[in-house]
Chain A
Amino acid sequence: MQKLLTPRRTILKGAGLAAGALAMPNIIRSARAQEKVVNVWTYANFIPDDFKAKFENDTGIRIQIRLVDDQGKAFNLLTAEQPNPSVDILTIAGHRFSQFITSGLLEAIDTDRLSNWNIVNPVYRDSDWIVIDGKKWGVPILAGAEGLAYNTEVVTPEEAESWDVMFDPKYEGQTAYIIQDFMSVTMLYLGYDGNMVEYKDDPEKAKAVVAEARDFLIKHKGQVRKFYDAGAEVQQMFINQDIVLAQAWSGPISKLIMDGFPVALTIPKPGSYGFVYNFNIAKNAPNADNAYQLLNAILGSPEVGTAMTRSSGYLSTIDGAADGLNDLERRASSLSQEELSRLTFFNTEADQLKYSLVDPAVEEIKAA
């Protein structure tokens, strides 16, 4: 009996040993929990290994990084952890601030504790979207835009100068967009305020605007090959030539350009919206002091900004970050002056109103 059971037992034993050996560093690490730590939730490759090693050496604070891959999951996880979060620093996009703040998940940033605060480009540092209730809520790290991405072998730059091209019957069934983001853009396209701040005190008007945008998109639903959610999807769609036009975030498209794919991104007329990723501090963060130290160190290290741009394709807010990029990377991730002038940042002041109307509209478009 025993002899015959051996093959299976040894396999299990062997696999277990191997797994244990590979996992060992982490088991040991979690056992040394008494050390000084700072817990960060961020995207892959945002904090480069050498920076991490240097910081840990210089300050004795260990950085524990937990990989999140989108805002929604970060929100869910943080919500599930209330009222005692395990995280100190989060990575949240400016236009999601309202959701996190009204749920009481964040702490305002005390900029006096950041000696390197002025290294951040004033365009972001002093902008209106970052201020809610008179306080600043994030440390900007990356800037992006909702742009029009197009396959340069099929669509001409002239065609791409206006959002009209997304509704051009010539490209029927060859476009894609993220419905929620595109609703804001469509409202702007139709001549309204996509941030809906103007209609904050006029719910009737707000409803009418959203309804008009929704009906417009339903009318042109035939243009759409797919409603997507994530950067990786739109990248794959371009590569597979399933689409030639898309509303897309500038980051993923920059990465495609960096890889040599014939795609370009513009900010067409009449304009579009921009957003900024930030590092934020969680409310009741267990290691808030260490968090400020880390934030300050990041702001003072342009190579972190370079790494973030290289990994995400977005523009770094840290001075000097672009110097570390090569020509192609720099060209891919930046926008011309004229295009920048067409950008407004997302503003979350009217978010409660906006999303209470937009989210059902999204479902209606999907169901149409």
Chain B
Amino acid sequence: MATTSERTGNDAALIRPQDGTRGFWTRLTANPAYRQASDLLLSSDRRRFWLLAVPALIWMFGTHLGPILTMIRISFMDSYPPTAGRIPEMTLENYLLFFQAPNYITPFVRTFVYSTCYTLLTLLLMYPIAYFLAKKLRPGRQMLFLLLLLVPFWVGEIVRTYAIMILLGNRGFLNIVLMGLGLTSRPIPFMYTGFSLGMGLVYLTSLYMLLPLYASLEKIPRNYLEAAADLGAGSWTRFRRVTLPLSKDGIASGCVLVFLISTGYYATPVLLGGPSTTVFAETIAGFFHVAGDKWPEGAAFSTIMLLASLVTVGLFLRLLGRRRGNLLG
């Protein structure tokens, strides 16, 4: 039978653990030099804030913005790399190019439509999976099942994409099986269509949707649902009025991530798409790829796409209305 001291032992362990690390922490907090530094830096909320903020801001504004500003600078030049002895002129031409011809607007709009559709598709596909992992499995098994899902992502994108090609090709695995079973006499052209593109993209983006969803679903306390059940709610009602609203954060983060990242995908659409599925990222990559001096145009188009994506996401988050809880606090 546990005595009082043993029962409170666990709390005491927080400040006086029984193993060898006790010495370190107690010695540290007792050390006068450390105490001085701590008083100087950590004593007030304000100081703590600035201590955290300064390095973080330096890192973020330095490394995150630096490369973008380089790109934006290039987008205003009339040629890059600068030919020796000549200062490149600053011009808006590269941006105007985008609006001048319909053949740039088409893939641009197409990309945003696609990305929205694929985001929704991924959400619909991954929500049941996340729900299954978070709610229907014991905590011990969750990790294992999650890991199982992660394994395919260890294979590089390119190799996976070629594997999808031999899965869906006219003489690919799927067609061989279908023809062998007598379900079709001629091969079905799965490849180089919106279907093959979607299949490849969902493969890439599902992880970015799954993890936030899983995290937010896992946090929903069991007793909320039990309480709802006690109050007479059926399983669908419980889902609709308890689980779904509480997972809004996860849905928001997942959708935002997937949308933004999918607008940038280039390799997979190029390999799996067809003549009518050109996405804007391809157009941009084209500027960096072909036999012409096109970096400035590519940079301008990237900036346009970045702005449009951020605006879209901003609108989406605004639409969600209420504060996004744990995402932004």
Binding site for B on A (CB under 8 A): 1-2, 70-72, 76, 79, 82-83, 95-96, 98-99, 102-105, 173, 180, 221, 224-227, 229, 232-233, 236-237, 239-242, 351, 355-356, 359-360, 362-364, 366-367
Binding site for A on B (CB under 8 A): 17, 19-21, 80-81, 83-84, 101-104, 106-107, 162, 165-166, 169-172, 187, 189, 191-192, 270-271, 274-275, 278, 282-283, 286, 288-295
Evaluate contact between B166 and A240: CB separation under 8 angstroms: yes
Q: List 21 A-B contacts (CB under 8 A).
A: A70-B289, A76-B288, A79-B81, A83-B84, A103-B81, A103-B83, A105-B81, A173-B189, A180-B291, A225-B275, A229-B289, A239-B169, A240-B166, A240-B169, A242-B170, A355-B290, A359-B290, A363-B101, A363-B104, A363-B107, A367-B102
Evaluate contact between B171 and A1: CB separation under 8 angstroms: no
Evaluate contact between B169 and A241: CB separation under 8 angstroms: yes
Evaluate contact between A180 and B290: CB separation under 8 angstroms: yes
Evaluate contact between B295 and A240: CB separation under 8 angstroms: no
Among B103, B270, B282, B288, find the residue whose CB has the most chain A CB atoms closer than 10 A.
Answer: B103
Evaluate contact between A351 and B192: CB separation under 8 angstroms: no
Complex formed: what's the CA distance from A268 to B104 in Å? Answer: 34
Evaluate contact between B290 and A226: CB separation under 8 angstroms: no
Evaluate contact between A236 and B165: CB separation under 8 angstroms: yes
A residues near B189, Cβ cutoff 8 Å: 173, 225, 242
Evaluate contact between A79 and B292: CB separation under 8 angstroms: no
The list of the 10 closest CB pairs from A to B, nearest first, reads: A240-B169, A72-B289, A367-B103, A241-B171, A367-B106, A355-B292, A363-B103, A364-B103, A241-B170, A366-B278
Least CB distance from A237 to B in Å reads 8
B residues near A224, Cβ cutoff 8 Å: 275
Taking A72-B290, A99-B292 as known contacts, 16 extra A-B pairs with beta carbons closer than 8 A to each other, sorted by chain A number, are: A1-B21, A70-B289, A76-B288, A82-B81, A83-B84, A96-B291, A98-B291, A99-B293, A236-B165, A236-B166, A236-B169, A241-B169, A241-B170, A360-B101, A363-B107, A367-B278
Complex formed: what's the CA distance from A360 to B106 in Å? Answer: 13
B residues near A72, Cβ cutoff 8 Å: 288-290
Evaluate contact between B106 and A79: CB separation under 8 angstroms: no
B residues near A355, Cβ cutoff 8 Å: 290-292
Evaluate contact between A241 and B187: CB separation under 8 angstroms: yes
Contact of B19 among A1, A70, A362 (CB under 8 A): A1
Evaluate contact between A242 and B283: CB separation under 8 angstroms: no
Least CB distance from A230 to B in Å reads 9
Evaluate contact between A79 and B191: CB separation under 8 angstroms: no
Complex formed: what's the CA distance from A102 to B82 in Å? Answer: 10
Complex formed: what's the CA distance from A70 to B286 in Å? Answer: 13
Complex formed: what's the CA distance from A114 to B186 in Å? Answer: 58
Complex formed: what's the CA distance from A101 to B85 in Å? Answer: 15
Least CB distance from A210 to B in Å reads 14
Complex formed: what's the CA distance from A221 to B191 in Å? Answer: 17
B residues near A82, Cβ cutoff 8 Å: 81
Evaluate contact between B290 and A242: CB separation under 8 angstroms: no
A residues near B293, Cβ cutoff 8 Å: 99, 102-103
Evaluate contact between A99 and B21: CB separation under 8 angstroms: no
Number of A-B residue pairs at CB separation under 8 A: 106
A residues near B274, Cβ cutoff 8 Å: 225-226
Complex formed: what's the CA distance from A46 to B327 in Å? Answer: 51
Evaluate contact between B275 and A221: CB separation under 8 angstroms: yes
A residues near B283, Cβ cutoff 8 Å: 363
A residues near B294, Cβ cutoff 8 Å: 359
B residues near A356, Cβ cutoff 8 Å: 292
Contact of A359 among B171, B172, B271, B292 (CB under 8 A): B292
CB within 8 Å for A240 and B165 given contacts A363-B283, A366-B275: yes
Least CB distance from A171 to B in Å reads 14
Contact of A2 among B21, B102, B106 (CB under 8 A): B21
Complex formed: what's the CA distance from A364 to B103 in Å? Answer: 5
Residue of B nearest to A180 (CB): B290
A residues near B292, Cβ cutoff 8 Å: 99, 355-356, 359
Least CB distance from A360 to B in Å reads 7
Evaluate contact between A79 and B278: CB separation under 8 angstroms: no
Least CB distance from B152 to A in Å reads 20
Complex formed: what's the CA distance from A229 to B275 in Å? Answer: 12
Evaluate contact between A2 and B271: CB separation under 8 angstroms: no
B residues near A226, Cβ cutoff 8 Å: 191-192, 274-275
Evaluate contact between B162 and A236: CB separation under 8 angstroms: yes
Complex formed: what's the CA distance from A221 to B278 in Å? Answer: 14
Evaluate contact between B290 and A225: CB separation under 8 angstroms: no
Contact of B103 among A95, A236, A366 (CB under 8 A): A366
B residues near A242, Cβ cutoff 8 Å: 169-170, 189, 191-192
Complex formed: what's the CA distance from A241 to B191 in Å? Answer: 11
Complex formed: what's the CA distance from A103 to B80 in Å? Answer: 8
Complex formed: what's the CA distance from A141 to B190 in Å? Answer: 40
B residues near A360, Cβ cutoff 8 Å: 101, 103
B residues near A99, Cβ cutoff 8 Å: 291-293
Residue of A nearest to B289 (CB): A72
Complex formed: what's the CA distance from A143 to B103 in Å? Answer: 34
B residues near A96, Cβ cutoff 8 Å: 291
Complex formed: what's the CA distance from A76 to B298 in Å? Answer: 12
Evaluate contact between B192 and A225: CB separation under 8 angstroms: yes
Least CB distance from A361 to B in Å reads 9
B residues near A83, Cβ cutoff 8 Å: 84
Complex formed: what's the CA distance from A221 to B294 in Å? Answer: 26
Complex formed: what's the CA distance from A149 to B283 in Å? Answer: 27
Complex formed: what's the CA distance from A62 to B113 in Å? Answer: 52
Residue of A nearest to B288 (CB): A76
Least CB distance from B239 to A in Å reads 36
Least CB distance from B98 to A in Å reads 11
B residues near A363, Cβ cutoff 8 Å: 101, 103-104, 107, 283, 286
